[in-house]
Chains A and B, each alone.
Chain A
Amino acid sequence: MKKFSVYILLVFLLLASCTGRVKEDLNVPGSELAPGDLKISEQAMNEIVENISSPIEMAALVKELGVPFSSRYLSNLDNIDSHASSFKMAYTLGVLGADLGYLNVYEKTGTSVNYLASISRIADGLKINQFFDFNTMKRLATSSSDIDSLMYLSLHSFNQMDGHLRITNRSNLSALMITGVWVEGMYLATQVAKEKSDTSLAQYIGEQKVILNDILLILKNYQRDAQFSGLIKDLELIKIEFDQVKISYIMGEPKAVEQDGMLMIVQQERSIVEISQEVLGKIIEITERIRNKQLMV
């Protein structure tokens, strides 16, 4: 009878595991991060997270500007420690995701294999490796045959890993992951801006003011943790500069046009970003400092 009860229990456990909504223990070395008392609801947080744009857009903008590929914009894989704390791993996963986006946009599939391997190790440490099909991605990257599929798989995997962290009560790690993506994307944009003066790039950097406010809103949910409060303090240094960026709007009704047989809606309302060279220079400098510091922590 005792054995019978054990079997019943096993079946229930198995069923529960199939829903993917059970709380998971992280079992990784380093600090265990308690989500703590949330100041904003999980739903509001999910909405904010969805509002952090993809690393592809930043990399694509840089490519459209005619900026050649440079490995100087990438993080150094020698500094990646897959046995670090969950805080460090989640943040680094975001950083590597942004780097992978940059590599994929420039179709540098040879280099991306090393990044894929590091991502896979970190995802394994965070127990979200089931969403990262390393072998298929490695095959696609090595053969350079289907860059679209590689890009699709990379982004889809990151969306799934992030989603899984949030539904398994690890929103704190999801917050770190998206912060890593954002900081690395900002690093790419600001490093390019340092070398190439371009209005659209400067405007793009200025618009990140809105995104940073959202990221800080999420991170402040976990500020009781010393590592989180350190990260918040760093990001607030950029916020001080962003506060001097002005964003205004010109109103207008959207227009429908047909392009190559497809309907396209062209938005007429537009945003105008005012950012001085001085403020841009400070944002470039602080972003570089924080990005390098966070990768070494």
Chain B
Amino acid sequence: MLKNFKLYILIFSGIIFFQGYVFSQEMDGKVQQCALSAGNDVTYLKDFVVNLAAAPPNQKPPTFKTSLALRKGVIYRFSLCNGESSEGEAVLRLYDQANLLLSTYYPETGKEYKSISFACQKSAAYTIVISFKEGKKGDAIGILSYVKK
């Protein structure tokens, strides 16, 4: 009985470890793939791996928010890749304090962009916000790249 239990424990532990390893490798692969989709004229700087739950009824959709420093005189590119099994479509917005500078989706025109470049003229801390349309559950990867001159 104890012998069988030992075996189960070993198999279970192995599965957990292997799953964790595979997940991390898979995620690294997806980030790299997304970074490559940003174009041939860029250098990867940062990635934002986002996984958000669906918005509860009558509540604001959950958002991923982080700040980042952008430097004057540099052209950056923001790229977005939706997860294969994501229910919602991701939208990335860039803010300078409360002012919206860019969005990968403009609901008033319906225009959507997988990548947007940003010519920065003011070195400062900016805020990136990623959410999913209609507050749906979803996963996505955002990439910040440096556009080579």
Q: Are B148 and A60 in contact (CB under 8 A)?
A: yes
Set of chain A residues within 8 Å of B68, measured between Cβ atoms? 50-51
List residues 110-125 of chain B with CB under 8 A from any CB of chain A. 113, 115-125
Which one of B16, B32, B67, B117 lies within 8 Å of A265 (CB-CB)?
B117
Number of A-B contacts (CB under 8 A): 122
Q: Are A52 and B69 in contact (CB under 8 A)?
A: yes
Q: Are B46 and A159 in contact (CB under 8 A)?
A: yes
Interface residues as binary, B33-66 with A (CB distance below 8 Å gives 1, 0 otherwise): 0010000000111110000000000000000001
Min CB gap B89→A, angstroms:
17
Q: Are B5 and A7 in contact (CB under 8 A)?
A: yes
Q: How many residues of B contact A (CB 8 A)?
A: 46
Set of chain B residues within 8 Å of A269, measured between Cβ atoms? 96, 121-122
Q: Are A271 and B74 in contact (CB under 8 A)?
A: no
Q: Are A10 and B9 in contact (CB under 8 A)?
A: yes
Q: Are A53 and B71 in contact (CB under 8 A)?
A: yes
Set of chain A residues within 8 Å of B146, measured between Cβ atoms? 54, 56-57, 60
B129 interface contact, C-beta 8 A: no
Set of chain B residues within 8 Å of A226, measured between Cβ atoms? none
List residues 1-38 of chain B with CB under 8 A from any CB of chain A. 2, 5-6, 9, 12-13, 16-17, 20, 28, 31-32, 35
Q: Are A254 and B102 in contact (CB under 8 A)?
A: yes
A203 interface contact, C-beta 8 A: yes
Q: Are A265 and B118 in contact (CB under 8 A)?
A: yes
Q: Is the interface of A mostly helix, strand, loop or mixed?
A: helix
Q: Are A259 and B117 in contact (CB under 8 A)?
A: yes
Closest to B74 in A: A57
Q: In the complex the two chains form, what is the Cα distance from A149 to B36 in whole Å?
A: 9
Q: Are B118 and A262 in contact (CB under 8 A)?
A: no
Q: Are A51 and B67 in contact (CB under 8 A)?
A: yes
Which one of B28, B46, B67 lies within 8 Å of A54 (CB-CB)?
B46
Min CB gap A183→B, angstroms:
16
Which one of B20, B46, B75, B96 lies within 8 Å of A264 (CB-CB)?
B75
Could you pull out 23 A-B pairs where Cβ atoms are within 8 angstroms?
A: A7-B9, A10-B9, A11-B13, A14-B13, A14-B17, A18-B20, A50-B66, A53-B71, A54-B146, A56-B45, A57-B74, A60-B148, A61-B73, A151-B44, A155-B46, A156-B28, A204-B72, A262-B117, A263-B117, A264-B117, A265-B117, A269-B121, A271-B72
Given contacts A159-B46, A204-B72, 17 further A-B contacts (CB under 8 A): A10-B9, A15-B16, A50-B66, A50-B68, A51-B67, A54-B146, A57-B45, A156-B31, A156-B44, A159-B47, A203-B72, A259-B117, A263-B113, A264-B118, A264-B119, A267-B121, A271-B121
